[in-house]
Amino acid sequence: MKIAGKTKKRIDKDFVEIIGAQLIATTFGRIGGIFLTSAADKLYLIPGLLVLIPGFLEMHGNILGSLAARLGTALHTRKISPELKNSPFIKENVFANVSLGIIVGLFLGLLAFLITKMVFGVVDVKIIFVSVFALILSLVIELPLTLISTFWFFRKGYDPDDVMGPYVTTSGDVISILSLLVALWVVL
């Protein structure tokens, strides 16, 4: 009876955290959309940028969502302490995510370049530089943000598994679009 009550309490808490994070993410997610709309004219300056965007935005959820999930699991299983320290686990996770970001950024850029060349017959290598530069730039901001937030939520009694998914994808969308705009400004 006591166990059932405890589980019910935990499930209720989970539901509140999931729906709360989702509603906040939905509301703030529109900010990314507003940035994109306001920069719509710049998106045509480099051929292939529109091909790059869906994959580019998706990657942040994939790379950082997985990182937050790994950290969440490690915190729950007490593999790491709730204080953010320079442990080998954290260091290797950070290096792995930076490496993945650079490789995937390069791949996405090459893919956008090839699709644009094959479908539209346009050749412009700037798309590859924009992809890699924007991915590195966004990771520089998002990686520490994801690390700090996961530990902070855990210490405050929230389950990172419930809140970090919506948090990472929403902040990722906004930061990614800003990074793309900065990369465009640098490259053009």
Partner 1 sequence: MNIYKKIITESMKVLIFASILSSFGGLSIKLVEEKLIMFVPLFIIIPALNNMIGDFGIIIVSKFTTHLYEQKIKRSSWRFHFVKHLFKDIFLAAIIATSYMVLMSIVLSKFRGFTADSDFVIKLFLTSLIVVIILVLIIFFISIGFGFYVYKKNEDPDDLVIPITTSIADLGSMAALSILVYLFF
CB atoms within 10 A of CB 180: 28
Q: Can residue 125 be called a binding residue for partner 1 (CB under 8 A)?
A: no
Q: Can residue 47 be called a binding residue for partner 1 (CB under 8 A)?
A: no
Cβ atoms of residues 112 and 82 within 8 Å: no
CB of 4 to partner 1, least distance (A): 9
Q: Which is nearer to partner 1, 29 or 178 (CB)?
A: 29
Q: Can residue 23 be called a binding residue for partner 1 (CB under 8 A)?
A: yes
Options 135, 162, 174, 180; binder of partner 1; rule CB under 8 A = 162
Q: Which stretch binds partner 1 (CB under 8 A): 39-47, 106-114, 120-128, 136-144?
A: 106-114
Question: What is the distance between the alpha carbons of residues 69 and 78, in angstroms, rounded to a whole number?
Answer: 14
Cβ atoms of residues 174 and 35 within 8 Å: yes
Q: Can residue 129 be called a binding residue for partner 1 (CB under 8 A)?
A: no
Q: Which stretch binds partner 1 (CB under 8 A): 30-38, 39-47, 133-141, 175-183?
A: 30-38
Which runs of consecutive H residues, i.e. helices, occur in the chain?
2-38, 49-76, 88-115, 126-155, 160-187
Structure tokens at 43: 């998106």
Site for partner 1 in 68-87 (CB under 8 A): 68-70, 72-73, 76-77
Question: What is the distance between the alpha carbons of residues 83 and 36, in angstroms, rounded to a whole number?
Answer: 36
Question: What is the distance between the alpha carbons of residues 16 and 23, in angstroms, rounded to a whole number?
Answer: 11
Question: What is the distance between the alpha carbons of residues 6 and 124, in angstroms, rounded to a whole number?
Answer: 59
Binding site for partner 1 (CB under 8 A): 7, 11, 14-15, 18-19, 21-23, 25-27, 29-30, 32-33, 50-52, 54-55, 58-59, 61-63, 65-66, 68-70, 72-73, 76-77, 88-89, 92-93, 95-97, 99-100, 103-104, 107-108, 111-112, 115, 159-162, 164-166, 168-170, 173
